Amino acid sequence: MQKITLTTILFFLVAFLFICQPEELNAEELTLTASQILEKCDDVINAPTDQDLRIKLILIDKKGKEKMREMSMLQKGNDKRMVKFLSPADQRGIAFLSLPDDIMYLYLPAFKKIRRIASHVKNTKFAGSDFTYEDMEAIRYSKKYIPELLKKEENHYVLQLKPREGVKTDYSKLVMWVRMDNFYPTKIEHYNKGDKLYKIMISKKIEKVNGYWISKEYEMEDLKAEHKTRMMILDVKFDSGLSDDKFTKRYLSR
Amino acid sequence: MNMKKFSESVIKYRKLIIFVTVFITLILGFFLKNLTINSDILSYLPQDDPKVVLFNEVGDKFGGSSLAMVALECEDAFNHATLTRINEITQQFKEMAEIFQVMSLTDIIDIKKTDWGLEIGKFIDEDNIPRDSEELLRLRKYALSKDMYRDNLISDDGKITLIIARLKEDADKLAIGRRMREVVEGTRGNEKIYYGGIPFQMIFLTDIVQSDLTMLIPLVIFLVMGVLLMSFRSLRGVFLPLSCVLISTIWVLGFMSLLKIPLTIASDAMPVLLVAIGSAYGIHMLSKYNEDVHKEESKIQDIKDVLSEVGFPILLTGLTTLIGFLAFLSSNLSLIREFGVFTAMGVAFAMIISVTLLPAVLSFMKVKRTKRSTKKKENGWSTGMMNKVGGFVLRNAKLIIAFCIVVVLFSLFMITRLSREVNMVDYFKKNSEIRQAEEMMEERLGGSIPVQIVIKGDLKDPFVLKEMIRFEKFIEAQPSIHNPHSIADLICEMNWVVNGHHTIPETRDGVANLWFFIEGNEILNQLITDDAMEALIQANLGTVNTKQVIALVNQVEGYINKELRTDLIKLRISLVSSDFEAVLAKERMEQILSKINWDIKKRGLVWTAHNSELREMLFTAANPNSGGLDDAMIDALGMKVSDYLRTESTDIQVESEKVISAIIADIGDSLRLSKPGIGEAKTPEWGEEDIVDVLKKNVPQALYAEDPEALDYAAETIVTIIKDEKNWARVKRLIQDIKPFLPESLADDDKFLGDLRDDVWEINEDRIAIEGSKYEILPGNTKFQSRTKLSAQQTGMPIIYNDLDKQIIKSQAFSLSIAILLVFLLLAYRLKSIIGGFVSITPITLTILINFTIMAIFGIPLDVVTVLIGSVAVGIGIDYTIHFIIRFKVEHALGKTELEALGKTLETTGKAIVINALSVMMGFLVLVLGNIVPMQRFGYLIAITMIVSATASITVMPALLLVTRAGFIGRLGLLTNGLVSKVANKINVKNNYRKK
């Protein structure tokens, strides 16, 4: 009897510890500052050292008509990127290379010419999508924005991000929903300079691949233009040791 | 209708009549406050008209056909404060949900070639508006050098700049226009502001209509009161007829408001019109009452008698007036139909109220004694005048008729010279704000009216785009049309940035590659549909003159029907037989030639004298072997190849000077001109394999051992470089050859030489398109690569104006003929004589012809309001004839000779006609004080028409009666006499008449 009691107590004690542990963690999280949350979020998004993706873009106009684009994307760190278009057929081979310090090169296969393009105009839409060049930047949110914790919703922190002084952006603020469990952002509202909500990005299919969290489907909606873009990650490889050679002008045409 | 019975009932139900009238007036009066004004010119047209449907469709697809423009004028628009203000306004406009798109200096796509590459972005960064004066100067220079901006967003002196907003199709243009004005007025600055475009024109028009109504209605009421006071000299004499017209006006306007039918630029004249012409019925009623009702005791019976006596003439004259207005129902223009229906309704109300309410009210009023002494005096004066008129008519009956014939012939000639005006800007006075804004834009910025052409076809097909460029060149060569632009221009612009010539790329891939740059750019929304199967060519129309607008519409229509190539067979010259090649080359020559000719014509010059020489030169240049290079060109080519081999992006990095020189020597030598000046090279084409061989020969193997493919990639690039150089050489040489033949002013005009370069660039291309119909008649035409089709349709305001113009002519012709025909039928029936019918409509027909003649002589155009004059004149003016004929018949029936009867008629009815015409004329002249130009024209023209019509009724009419001896009047004594005795007799009678 006593033995049983002891075992029971022991059991309960262990059980209690087990149950308590996450509780304690939660308690710790509660004290996380907005900046810490954003830092963690940045860490999660930028975790892989390199990425090799195949992406499908579906552009959906207000009448529901769809247009497809397929491309491959190589990324190393968060400042080197090579994007190549695979479809549509007449744009196949168009490639562009982004290098540190806002240097961008574009290759036009029809003319076999490489042109450097200015990248300071970041509110230009990327390939007809609702993502602008700014949205595609792999810059850390915490470098660009000052976060403020607005509230906690079911499993989510809701952060408001306001641009830091001197940062050039097309947005007056972002409101970002960050998952409590893995700090992956699930939804970002973009406000324009008139402080009106004008674009919403939603991350769907958040999965763990090779130990990294990734959203395999994004959707960006432009509310005024009533236009939507779905970005689907068809294939993904992380940390495959991409060499710097892959990020050169010479490689643009190959 | 039995008038007796009718008057019995009026008296029987007099209380009910008064009660019901007051009740209806109160209710409809309550609705008056909801009455709105519609100044949207497009809504006047039939909405199922294909032109209107297309216009709306284009607005829907390309984001609004309504442009609202704000112009800022200052010493130099390129200063920080002005640009900041432009940005502020632009940003606020962009926030408005009803605005589809805004374009201004601070929000416009810029495709720029830079030292190191290219830049696609905004002309001015809205977040970083420059302050530095040097930077501002640079921007100014740049803007003025670009076709896309100069004369479009900025005047060529840099002083006036535009903010252009496209309104969504379903937007309430009036409301949004007002809010836009508020936004602009809410920003600070010293710039002078102008507002242009249909939405702002609508605001001005609506405001003017409103202010005119509030000014003119009291004025005409006041005037009519004066006339009534003079003729009746009693309060009831003023207020009873007046209340009849006021009540009927309230009823009509209330009714319109209840049916949610807004007032238009035409129907806003209605209140003034109703007061001016509707009072006649009440006046008739009251004067007869004054004449016949003298005793309180027999009042009720007397009123019944008066009513049954005047009821019929009132109804008959009312009916003809109704016919005049109802004839407008035949029009396709809603504003004319509405004007007709509601004015007719108003006239009917005025008529009904005059024979119901008026006697009912009178029956409750005390009988007043009226002095009639004054009338005798007047009689004396006016009888004298009428006698003179009578004498003149009798003496000169034939002369009058002859004069009439001359007038008719002259009028018929003048009518062909009648001008038309449908442009809204013409509605405003010359010194009005909106008119000045429009004129400024016309002069300095190429106009505010967009001309639009919808192109349907595969827009990624280079040949479709090339047809668009050709079309644009044609358009720009037409007078007073500026700045055509389309997706094709953007593609050219990008090609210029990438490849250095402003042309459509030869291949579809080339187009698609350039397209990639602007994919998703918001400017595309106004240029193409999402599926890239429809595009818009837009240009500005620099004239508001309807005649010019119509000429232009027809020019463009002619181009679409005859010049535009809509069915294209795509071929490659290198793949066809040599016979075919010659045909294709000829086709190309003609295409290039027409482009060059348009480019010259656009600059106001004519140059066709040298077309045959030019053909020859083009033909030589187009020879694929003609791309030989001279020494300087070989050097340039060498530099490029060397540059390529040295840069980091090269496929094989060659450092050795020696190796590079060897490669260049191998390539260059074969490209050298065989004989200087002839332009033929020894080896026409370098293939990739040849280059690989050259590279293998010269480049140490170690450099590509690791990456054997590198040679192929390098060869590919070098071939491209060579081809480019050859193309440039060919084009440059051709331009040099053409130069001596050019008009002097163009030979050194860089802009023109640029155009020339782009026009002739095609000679380098292998791909060509030939029209299906031409292709089919060629022998051996079986194989072709592929085919593309396109179509074009004209839309935009000019074609709407053109449509409106046609509708106005149609409305004029229809409504007028219907009015005259119906009046003729009515009178012929009443007089039981066809000749009688003809005689009666002669004065009014003459009046209308004179009206048109006056309009033609003084250049007064037919517009949506002056088009109403004809039928209105018939409706009102015919009354004079009716009165005259009825009186004449009555007098003649009393046994008088026709001359005596004529004298008596002139003395009584003739005088009444003149007085009536004068008072109606005064009423209409009130409109001249308004601010809407067509309304002013309407006012004075109707006034003139009244006088002419009255004059014709008392001169031409009797002359006609005398000359025709019209049997319908009754049995005329002199009918059987011979011509000689007729004349003799007449002279006798005239003498007798004079003695009297």
The answer to whether residue B83 scores a pLDDT higher than 90 is: yes
The answer to whether residue B651 scores a pLDDT higher than 80 is: no
The answer to whether residue B376 scores a pLDDT higher than 50 is: no
Q: What is the fold, at CATH topology level, of the domain defined by B1-34+234-370?
A: Multidrug efflux transporter AcrB transmembrane fold (1.20.1640)
Question: What is the DSSP annotation of A176-204?
Answer: EEEETTT--EEEEEEE-TTS-EEEEEEEE
For the segment B897-909, the average pLDDT, to the nearest whole number, is 79
The answer to whether residue B981 scores a pLDDT higher than 50 is: no
The answer to whether residue B524 scores a pLDDT higher than 60 is: yes
Q: Looking at beta carbons, which residues of chain A come within 8 Å of B507?
A: 110
In a mutational test of the A interface, the residue from B99, B498, B516 whose CB has the highest number of chain A CBs within 10 Å is B516
In this predicted structure, what is the pLDDT of residue A72? 94
Q: Which tokens is B482 given?
A: 């500026």
Q: How far is A75 from chain B (nearest CA, A)?
A: 19
Q: How far is B109 from chain A (nearest CA, A)?
A: 10
Instruction: Give the distance from CA B530 to its chain's centroid.
Output: 30
The answer to whether residue B475 scores a pLDDT higher than 70 is: yes
Q: Looking at beta carbons, which residues of chain B come within 8 Å of A196?
A: 95
In a domain, residue A134? The reply is yes
In a domain, residue A10? The reply is no
In this predicted structure, what is the pLDDT of residue B357? 92
Question: What is the DSSP annotation of B304-364?
Answer: HHHHHHHHHHHHHHHHHHHHHHHGGGG-S-HHHHHHHHHHHHHHHHHHHHHHTHHHHHHHH
Cα separation, B562 vs B552, whole angstroms: 15
pLDDT classification of A28: cutoffs 50, 70, 90: very low
- The domain of A212 spans 34-252
| Sequence letter at residue B985 | N
The answer to whether residue A21 scores a pLDDT higher than 60 is: no
Question: What is the DSSP annotation of B564-603?
Answer: ---EEEEEEGGGS-HHHHHHHHHHHHHHHHHHHHHHHHHT
Q: Least CB-CB distance to B513: which of A65, A109, A121?
A: A109
Domain boundaries, chain B: 1-34+234-370, 387-416+833-996, 631-735
Q: Which tokens is B55 given?
A: 């216009």
Instruction: Give the distance from CA A101 to its chain's centroid.
Output: 20
| CATH number where A151 lies | 2.50.20.10
B37-51, B442-456, B769-783, B784-798: segment of lowest average pLDDT: B769-783
Q: Least CB-CB distance to B116: which of A85, A116, A129?
A: A116
A22 lies within 8 A of chain B by CB: no
Q: How far is B592 from chain A (nearest CA, A)?
A: 23
The answer to whether residue B407 scores a pLDDT higher than 50 is: yes
Q: Least CB-CB distance to A110: which of B509, B648, B713?
A: B509
Span B313-323, pLDDT tens digits: 788 888 888 88
Question: Which residues have C-beta within 8 Å of that of residue B454, sequence separation ≥ 6?
Answer: B54, B58, B534, B535, B536, B792, B793, B794, B795
The answer to whether residue B971 scores a pLDDT higher than 90 is: no
The answer to whether residue B976 scores a pLDDT higher than 60 is: no
Question: Residues of B at the A interface (Cβ-Cβ below 8 Å)?
Answer: 91, 94-95, 112, 114, 116-122, 125, 127, 460, 497-499, 505, 507-516, 519-522, 530-531, 647-651, 709, 713, 716-717, 720
A124 lies within 8 A of chain B by CB: yes
In this predicted structure, what is the pLDDT of residue B914? 83
| Sequence letter at residue B315 | L
The answer to whether residue A189 scores a pLDDT higher than 50 is: yes
In a mutational test of the B interface, the residue from A92, A106, A111 whose CB has the highest number of chain B CBs within 10 Å is A111
| Sequence letter at residue A79 | D
In a domain, residue A11? The reply is no
Span B216-247, pLDDT tens digits: 999 999 988 888 888 788 888 889 989 999 99
For the segment B980-995, the average pLDDT, to the nearest whole number, is 45
In a mutational test of the B interface, the residue from A59, A92, A124 whose CB has the highest number of chain B CBs within 10 Å is A124
Cα separation, B166 vs B58, whole angstroms: 12
Mean pLDDT of chain B: 84
In a domain, residue A27? The reply is no
Percent of chain B with pLDDT over 70: 92
What ipTM was assigned to the predicted interfaces of this complex? 0.82
Nearest chain A alpha carbon to B507: A110
- CA quadruple B55, B60, B61, B63: dihedral positive or negative? positive
Span A33-69, pLDDT tens digits: 889 999 999 999 888 889 999 999 999 988 888 989 9
The answer to whether residue A199 scores a pLDDT higher than 80 is: yes
In a domain, residue A185? The reply is yes
pLDDT classification of B994: cutoffs 50, 70, 90: very low
Cα separation, B864 vs B924, whole angstroms: 17
Q: How far is A211 from chain B (nearest CA, A)?
A: 35
Q: Least CB-CB distance to A110: which of B91, B114, B510?
A: B510
Cβ neighbour number for residue B485 with a 10 Å cutoff: 20
Cβ neighbour number for residue B352 with a 10 Å cutoff: 18
User: How many domains in chain A?
Assistant: 1
Cα separation, A200 vs A191, whole angstroms: 9
Chain A to chain B Cβ contacts (< 8 Å): 106
Q: Least CB-CB distance to A129: which of B514, B520, B720?
A: B520
Span B827-845, pLDDT tens digits: 888 778 888 888 889 999 9
The answer to whether residue B59 scores a pLDDT higher than 60 is: yes
In a mutational test of the B interface, the residue from A121, A130, A227, A229 whose CB has the highest number of chain B CBs within 10 Å is A121
Return the CATH number of B387-416+833-996, one of 3.30.1330.10, 1.20.1640.10, 3.30.413.10, 1.20.140.10: 1.20.1640.10
| Sequence letter at residue B950 | A
pLDDT classification of A159: cutoffs 50, 70, 90: very high
Q: Looking at beta carbons, which residues of chain B come within 8 Å of A116?
A: 116-118
Asked if A249's CB is within 8 angstroms of B648's CB, the reply is: yes
Of the candidates B109, B103, B106, the residue with the CA atom closest to the CA atom of residue B69:
B103
B34-48, B326-340, B472-486, B864-878: segment of lowest average pLDDT: B34-48
Question: What is the DSSP annotation of B403-459?
Answer: HHHHHHHHHHHHHTT--B---GGGGB-TTSHHHHHHHHHHHHSS-SEEEEEEEEE-T
Asked if B519's CB is within 8 angstroms of A65's CB, the reply is: no
In this predicted structure, what is the pLDDT of residue B990? 46
Q: Do domains B1-34+234-370 and B387-416+833-996 have the same CATH topology?
A: yes
The answer to whether residue B772 scores a pLDDT higher than 80 is: yes
Selected residue with higher pLDDT from B469 and B669: B469
pLDDT classification of B191: cutoffs 50, 70, 90: very high
Span B462-472, pLDDT tens digits: 999 999 999 99
